[in-house]
Amino acid sequence: MVHCSCVWFRKYGNFIDNLRLFTKGGSGGMGYPRLGGEGGKGGDVWVVAHNRMTLKQLKDKYPQKRFVAGEGANSRVNALKGSKGKDCEIPVPVGISVTDENGKIIGELNKEKDRILVAEGGLGGKLLTNFLPLKGQKRVIHLDLKLIADVGLVGFPNAGKSSLLSQVSHAKPAIADYAFTTLKPQLGKIMYDDFKQISVADLPGLIEGAHVNKGMGHKFLKHIERTKQLLFVVDISGFQLSSQTQYRTAFETIILLTKELELYKEELQTKPALLAVNKMDLPGAQDKYHVLMNQLQNPKDFLHLFEKNMIPERTMEFQHIIPISAITGEGIDELKNYIRKSLDEHANQEDDAYHKKQLLNLQISSTISYSEPPPKNCY
């Protein structure tokens, strides 16, 4: 295969989630007018998903200029039909969305060995083309990575998401005791006694205004589109990014996180969600937790505390609310059990919906077959 490289990339930390590539299909081969010979078709450029690939590896491995497929062979006396040019494969991680220069989606690669044709090779010279070959398709494409995980952690910086991920899985994220924003997504796996595994993604921390690309902005929000469920993580003591920003209580934090999701993409609010109330080991945490539970049970009674543009259209409904301490381990086993229970319930609901749809299709098809008049005999 012919391999070449990216010409532009965007990164944060060492993590790259977006690449801009130039691709070009191979030119076709020359035809052979006197004997009616056809030139070979130019090679195609494909994007192919691999489980162990990252965009950073792609960028490092192919640091030149572009991806160009091989040219088709010319027609000649001893080979009137020219052979096809070599295809060019671009190895990418699973979870890639491929778009063209105008932002139109070409396709998505969601599992190992998924492949998308991004630049087609030109036709070889033949009678229809006056035996002249055609050039290959030129295309600038964007590779956009959206992590695929069972659970996406949602929370403001310093909510304890990294500490929680290290508690529930074998991941080793960077952890700091100040308003610290994870610079790259961290993936961990919760391992259960019966060998069941659930993947959890700790994604760069949201801040107010993330929907308009403040802070990590869309770099964060786009990654939770592919998670099956959300796990909100909030500090029971509330949150303040810096001395220049406003202090937010735990309840205000939840409302603002919900608003950020809504402003980015309303469908995110329909995902199943759990709430982990973290740092319950701190003094006064129990009293604050009782206040928070009262606020969550009667959210409308407290929405007058917010400016109108900060109030979400619909408040988040959490399937379970679990008080935890990522430092002491309090509530962690309970949280892991609820995560699994919630995912299993969601999977069962999807199965039920699928079977109902299949049954409905069978009923419709049988109704149509019985209602149609019998066919007339043919002579």
Average pLDDT estimate for 45-52: 93
Band (pLDDT 50/70/90 cuts) for residue 83 is very high
* Lowest mean pLDDT, pick from 85-94, 252-261, 302-311, 355-364: 355-364
Do 197 and 297 lie in one domain? The reply is yes
Please state, in angstroms and as integers, the Cα–Cα distance from residue 324 to each residue in 85, 138, 279, 318, 327, following that order. 59, 54, 7, 16, 9
Sequence-distant (≥ 6) Cβ neighbours of residue 271 within 8 angstroms: 227, 228, 229, 230
Q: Is residue 310 part of a domain?
A: yes
Domain ends where: 106, 124, 145?
145
Of 304, 295, 301, 299, residue with least CA distance to 314: 299
Band (pLDDT 50/70/90 cuts) for residue 148 is confident
Do 246 and 337 lie in one domain? The reply is yes
Q: Is residue 262 part of a domain?
A: yes
Residue 58 pLDDT > 70: yes
Name the more confident of 370 and 268: 268
Do 189 and 264 lie in one domain? The reply is yes
Residue 127 pLDDT > 70: yes
| Per-residue pLDDT reduced to its tens digit, 206-237 | 655 544 444 444 556 777 777 889 999 999 99
Domain at 244, CATH number: 3.40.50.300
State pTM to two decimals. 0.66
Residue 293 pLDDT > 50: yes
Do 341 and 209 lie in one domain? The reply is yes
Tell me which residue range forms the domain holding 249.
Answer: 149-345
Do 210 and 322 lie in one domain? The reply is yes
Residue 175 pLDDT > 70: no
Domain ends where: 94, 119, 145?
145
Q: State whether residue 293 is helix, strand or coil.
A: helix
Check residue 53 and give its pLDDT. Answer: 87
Do 125 and 61 lie in one domain? The reply is yes
Residue with tokens 């408040």: 315
Domain at 82, CATH number: 2.70.210.12
Q: State whether residue 285 is helix, strand or coil.
A: helix
| Per-residue pLDDT reduced to its tens digit, 308-361 | 888 888 888 899 999 999 999 999 999 999 999 998 887 777 666 666 766 777
Do 219 and 320 lie in one domain? The reply is yes
Do 157 and 262 lie in one domain? The reply is yes
Do 195 and 293 lie in one domain? The reply is yes
- Tally the domains of the chain: 2
Name the more confident of 78 and 378: 78
Average pLDDT estimate for 85-89: 96
- What is the SS3 string spanning 295-357? HHHCHHHCHHHCCHHHCCCCCCCCCEEEECCCCCCCCHHHHHHHHHHHHHHHHHHHHHHHHHH
Q: Is residue 11 part of a domain?
A: no
Percentage of the chain lying above the pLDDT 90 cut: 42
Percentage of the chain lying above the pLDDT 70 cut: 79
Do 52 and 141 lie in one domain? The reply is yes
Check residue 354 and give its pLDDT. Answer: 63
Check residue 94 and give its pLDDT. Answer: 87
Of 315, 273, 281, residue with least CA distance to 295: 315
Token pair in block for residue 206: 């949201």
Average pLDDT estimate for 195-204: 80
Residue 298 pLDDT > 60: yes
Token pair in block for residue 64: 């030149």
Q: Is residue 188 part of a domain?
A: yes
Q: Is residue 180 part of a domain?
A: yes
Of 61, 41, 55, 143, residue with least CA distance to 101: 143
